[in-house]
Structure 1
Amino acid sequence: MGQPATTKDYYTKDEYFRMLEASDFKIEYHDGKLRMMTGGKIAHNDIIDNIYLALATGQKKCKVKNSENAVAIESTNKYVFPDLTATCGKPTYQEGGIARLTNPNLIVEVLSPSTAEYDRNEKFSYYRSLESFQEYVLIDSRKLSVESFYRETHELWHIGSYYNLDQSVMFHSLGIEVPMQTIYADIDFSLAL
């Protein structure tokens, strides 16, 4: 096991799933192209731990999942690995192998220097094609900064920005608030670079 060699220009879904199951690394699938995902820095991983614990214990109506679950975006033929997802109601998965969630309501991405642009733009565009998708939260691992996007209707999104430790981030789809102090508890920003 290890990181698979990606020498081809195009991979079928079957080839991708076989490669993914044999890999120690997460690999995203973008309509035949592969994108290798690297491990996060300490600050990135600590923020994921903080927010997962806050979301999973702060409410009982939705199921919170870590980045071991891929999200299947069938309309664009993509499989991606967000940092966290939450599904309110019964989660649905594509059949076979690696868990491929099809109906997340909330997606959380923790931004790092190498993924911030991708998470903010491309991934957000992919996620918006999911009918179930209601809320996107971007948490910066390099500074105090959380942005939230909540879809009220298909065309109308509400945007929230949080930059101070005395603020709380509203997770509308879960019906809870999480203090910035909880999200950034014991985070050393020097370990994000």
Structure 2
Amino acid sequence: MSQHAFLHPLSIEDYLAGEEISDIRHEFVAGQVFAMVGSTRAHNRVTLNIAAFLRHHLRGTPCEVHMSDVKVRVEAADAFYYPDVVVSCEPFDPKSVFLNEPTLVVEVLSPSTENVDRREKRLNYQKLPSLKEYMLVAPDEIRVEVYRRAGENLWELDVYGPEDESVALTSVEARLPLAEIYGDG
């Protein structure tokens, strides 16, 4: 005999309050929460390499780099996500627990999140007027995809592979060497 369970949407206020006391990070989409999974060493290395490069490159500018513990709010999608790396040039608020205006969002792909990163998150992040680029990085092969805003509701895709030396990131005026992404630090 089947049993029915009712799923009650969680309010944004309850989600944010829960995240402050939780040992596990959760993403929020339309009232539902989804626990974040751990990552591999390759995933962590690539994430750290990208964040370190961007932090050094953006030193002395009003832009900041954050890694996986800072949420991005996508109000138009009723969502909060934890990107692997995010750059924001919005004014610093030391009490804020999320960003509203990212310029660059980077997701390092994993088998458990790749489909969500490619579809749901990409489409939702692209609703942010401040977002200029969305970057997907394969941790186990040399492959980087950069979705770049080319106009209102118009995006271009550039794919970088082993034959390329660097990834053009126009949002932060940088060329990120592939050797820097995939190097062992």
TM above 0.5: yes
2:86 pairs with 1:85: yes
2:135 pairs with 1:137: yes
What does residue 76 of structure 1 align with? 77
Over residues 39-92 of structure 1, what are the superposed CA-to-partner deviations in whole Å (9 max), with x where a residue is unaligned? Answer: 211110110111111111123332111121101111121111111111235357
Tell me how far apart the structure 2 counterparts of residues 17 and 89 of structure 1 sit (CA, whole Å): 20
1:103 is displaced (CA, Å) by 0.3
Query: Where has structure 1 moved over 3 Å in runs of 4 or more?
Result: none
2:115 pairs with 1:114: no
Tell me how far apart the structure 2 counterparts of residues 90 and 158 of structure 1 sit (CA, whole Å): 28
Q: TM-score, normalised by structure 1?
A: 0.85
What amino acid maps onto 1:178 in structure 2?
L
What does residue 3 of structure 2 align with? none
Tell me how far apart the structure 1 counterparts of residues 90 and 15 of structure 2 sit (CA, whole Å): 29
List gaps (5 residues or longer) in structure 2: 1-5
Tell me how far apart the structure 2 counterparts of residues 59 and 50 of structure 1 sit (CA, whole Å): 14
List gaps (5 residues or longer) in structure 1: 1-6, 188-193
What does residue 158 of structure 2 align with? 160
Over residues 96-126 of structure 1, what are the superposed CA-to-partner deviations in whole Å (9 max), with x where a residue is unaligned? Answer: 6x61100001000000111111101100011
For the Cα contact (< 8 Å) 2:58–2:64, is it kept in 1?
no
What amino acid maps onto 1:163 in structure 2?
G
Residues 150, 177 of structure 1: alpha-carbon distance in 2 compared, 3 angstrom cutoff: same
SS in 1 for 2:105: strand
Tell me how far apart the structure 2 counterparts of residues 170 and 164 of structure 1 sit (CA, whole Å): 14
CA RMSD across the alignment: 2.1
Alignment of 1:41-56 (within 5 A): 41-56=40-55
The count of corresponding residues between Structure 1 and Structure 2 is: 178
Q: Using CA pairs under 8 Å that are at least 6 residues apart, name the structure with larger relative contact order, 1 or 2.
A: 1
SS in 2 for 1:119: helix
Over residues 146-190 of structure 1, what are the superposed CA-to-partner deviations in whole Å (9 max), with x where a residue is unaligned? Answer: 001111211332321111165200111100101111100139xxx
Tell me how far apart the structure 2 counterparts of residues 186 and 165 of structure 1 sit (CA, whole Å): 19
SS in 2 for 1:105: strand
Residues 15, 55 of structure 1: alpha-carbon distance in 2 compared, 3 angstrom cutoff: same
* Stretch of structure 1 that moved more, 164-173 or 38-47: 164-173
What does residue 67 of structure 2 align with? 66
For the Cα contact (< 8 Å) 2:74–2:125, is it kept in 1?
yes
SS in 2 for 1:125: helix
Q: TM-score, normalised by structure 2?
A: 0.88
What amino acid maps onto 2:9 in structure 1?
Y
Alignment of 1:14-25 (within 5 A): 14-25=13-24
Percentage of pairs with the same residue: 32
Alignment of 1:5-44 (within 5 A): 8-44=7-43
What does residue 185 of structure 1 align with? 183
